[in-house]
Amino acid sequence: MNPNYDKFSLKRMWAVTTHYCVANGRKLLVSSFVIFAMTFLISLLITKMTGNDDGLDSAARAAMLGIMYLFIIGLGSTIIGSLTFSSYSSKPKRISAMMLPAKKSEKFLSMLIVYIVFGNIVLFGSIFLSEWITASMYGLTSAFEQFRLSFWYTEPKLRQFVPLSFWGAVCYVLIPQAIYLLGSALWPRLSFLKTAIAMSIFQLLLTIIMPISTMSGWINPFLEFMSEHFDSPEAAYNSICFILVCAYMLLAGIYVLAWLRFRNLAVAKRFLS
């Protein structure tokens, strides 16, 4: 093995990232345009449906846009996650990717940069840009400005929960995306479909288990814990912080599993069969 490849190199990782972007530039640009066009058309359509007055209609518009944007973010982030290792979906692509003169960790991080970092920037940038253009066209208050003002006028004793709401929203995006990223590492081909089926089975099992646990009393200690630790704003704040810490630990664990799977796929002979 070339001793120059024994150590991790940011320069080499960036070269792999650039190589992938150049080789797949057209696909990435088309995908970015489709995301922007979809968000802009939805913003324009909802504005037309709710009217052009900056009053009650604007509040209804902001509420509808909030629901639609949550749906777009949820769907878009999971699709981005499922595409992360799409360059390993066929034998020629896998051989081409493995022949690149770089460490497996550099290839792994380069895919995260292209899809997770740049992909999320494109997704959220498209939402903000389309909303700004639409609001400017009709002289309306931006939905994001209305959301900001609603948080600003929150009661002082509840204002401490605003940062927690932000970090909770980040979890809402990153954890499902990480699950589909793990699915992409497990099944590079038809990753979104296979991961969606696996998640549907998991949710079905939860649907069956939860009523059983409620009737049998297994969940009672948890319900007692929740009632004891959410009886005041201060206790609720501490409990939510603890839940968020656990959520981010789960997120880190999913990424570690994705890395371990990717590392094994890159060296397993059956992966090339």
Instruction: Give the number of C-alpha atoms closer than 13 A to the C-alpha of residue 28, restricted to the C-beta side.
Output: 21
Rounded distance between C-alpha atoms, residue 150 and residue 273, angstroms: 56
| Cα dist from 212 to 147, 205, 224, whole Å | 39, 11, 18
Q: Which domain holds residue 218?
A: 8-272
The arithmetic mean of pLDDT across residues 14-25, rounded, is 86
Residue pLDDT, tens place only, 160-193: 677 787 888 888 889 999 999 999 988 888 889 9
Mean pLDDT of the chain: 80
Number of domains the chain is built from: 1
Q: Which residue in this structure is represented by tokens 């769907």?
A: 75
Residue 3 included in any domain: no
Rounded distance between C-alpha atoms, residue 2 and residue 194, angstroms: 38
Considering only residues 204 and 2, tell me which one the structure prediction assigns the higher pLDDT: 204
Residue 176 included in any domain: yes
Rounded distance between C-alpha atoms, residue 207 and residue 168, angstroms: 23
Residue 247 included in any domain: yes
Residue 1 included in any domain: no
CA of residue 48 relative to chain centroid, distance: 29
Instruction: State pTM to two decimals.
Output: 0.81
Question: Torsions phi, psi of 23, nearest 5?
Answer: -70, -30
Closest to 5 measured CA to CA, from 87, 100, 96, 84: 100
Judge contact between 107 and 202, C-beta under 8 A: no
Rounded distance between C-alpha atoms, residue 198 and residue 218, angstroms: 25
CA of residue 258 relative to chain centroid, distance: 15
The arithmetic mean of pLDDT across residues 209-223, rounded, is 66
Rounded distance between C-alpha atoms, residue 68 and residue 63, angstroms: 9
Run of H or E residues at 46: helix 25-50
Question: Torsions phi, psi of 205, nearest 5?
Answer: -65, -40
Predicted local distance difference test score (pLDDT) of residue 267: 47
The arithmetic mean of pLDDT across residues 72-97, rounded, is 84
The arithmetic mean of pLDDT across residues 3-17, rounded, is 78
Predicted local distance difference test score (pLDDT) of residue 6: 65
Rounded distance between C-alpha atoms, residue 97 and residue 106, angstroms: 12
Q: Residue 188: CB partners within 8 Å, gap ≥ 6? A: 85, 86, 88, 89, 94, 265
Rounded distance between C-alpha atoms, residue 120 and residue 180, angstroms: 14
Residue 223 included in any domain: yes
Handedness of CA 237, 240, 246, 248 (dihedral sign): negative
- Which of 5-9, 40-44, 236-240 tops mean pLDDT? 40-44
Residue 22 included in any domain: yes
Rounded distance between C-alpha atoms, residue 30 and residue 7, angstroms: 35
Rounded distance between C-alpha atoms, residue 43 and residue 37, angstroms: 10
pLDDT at 217 over 50: yes
Residue pLDDT, tens place only, 115-161: 999 999 999 999 999 988 888 887 777 777 777 666 655 566 666 67
Residue 2 included in any domain: no
